[in-house]
């Protein structure tokens, strides 16, 4: 674990603190996008858990939607779930809310607690892969375990 960069180490420590035995791995190639990540680990793109940050229009709160790499978030649908319109988050807002740069935003280990939703399509897989703080770091986890450690609500997001 000592060879990991600081952002990935923070995710690894958070996973431990949450009682998760998952191991953060640094890949020799980019895992910046879901397609890159799927190629790097040799899984289906649907098995990549994208951690996408949105910003509520009125209250300007961050919302984390952990989405299958095969799906696009339907913001109209998410409005029903969240109870408020969602807008895009820019790169600065993502960093402020999570403590990580786009391309490496993990599902746990954020600067502040974030209201979290999980794409129900992720639950069909035995294991999925999520970003771990940098554009080359990932960890493998069972989707039920991801739901447990994030406290996220499993919903239809697309």
- Residues at the site binding ligand 5CA, with contacts judged by CB under 6 A: 31-34, 37, 48, 50-52, 89-91, 102-105, 130-131, 135
Q: What's the chain's length in residues?
A: 158
**Shortest Cβ 98–ligand 5CA spacing (Å):** 11
Least separation in angstroms between residue 27's CB and ligand 5CA is 10
Cα–Cα distance for residue pair 54/126, rounded to 1 Å: 27
Query: Cβ of residue 128: shortest distance to ligand 5CA, in angstroms?
Result: 10
Which among 8, 15, 33, 55 is positioned nearest to 142, based on CA atoms?
15
Q: What is the DSSP letter of 19?
A: T
List phi, psi (to 5°) of 56.
-70, 140
Minimum distance from residue 88 beta carbon to ligand 5CA (Å): 6
Fill in the DSSP letter of residue 152: P
Q: Of 20 and 130, which has the nearer Cβ to ligand 5CA? A: 130
63 touches 75 (CB < 8 A): no
Q: Would you say 1 or 91 has its CB closer to ligand 5CA?
A: 91
Nearer Cβ to ligand 5CA, position 8 or 37?
37
């Amino acid at each position: 674990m000592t060879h990991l960069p600081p952002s990935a180490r923070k995710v690894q420590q958070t996973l431990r603190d949450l009682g998760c035995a998952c191991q953060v791995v640094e890949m020799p190639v980019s895992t910046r996008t879901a397609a890159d990540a799927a190629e790097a680990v040799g899984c289906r793109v649907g098995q990549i858990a994208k951690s996408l940050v949105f910003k509520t229009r009125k209250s300007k709160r961050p919302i984390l939607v952990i989405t299958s790499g095969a799906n696009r978030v339907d913001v109209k649908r998410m409005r029903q779930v969240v109870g408020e319109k969602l807008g895009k988050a820019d790169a600065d807002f993502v960093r402020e809310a999570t403590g990580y740069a786009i391309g490496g935003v993990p599902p746990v280990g954020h600067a502040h607690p974030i209201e979290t939703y999980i794409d129900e399509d992720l639950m069909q897989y035995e294991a999925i892969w999520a970003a771990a703080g940098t554009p080359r770091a990932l960890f493998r986890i069972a989707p039920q375990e991801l739901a447990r450690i994030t406290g996220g609500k499993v919903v239809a997001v697309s």
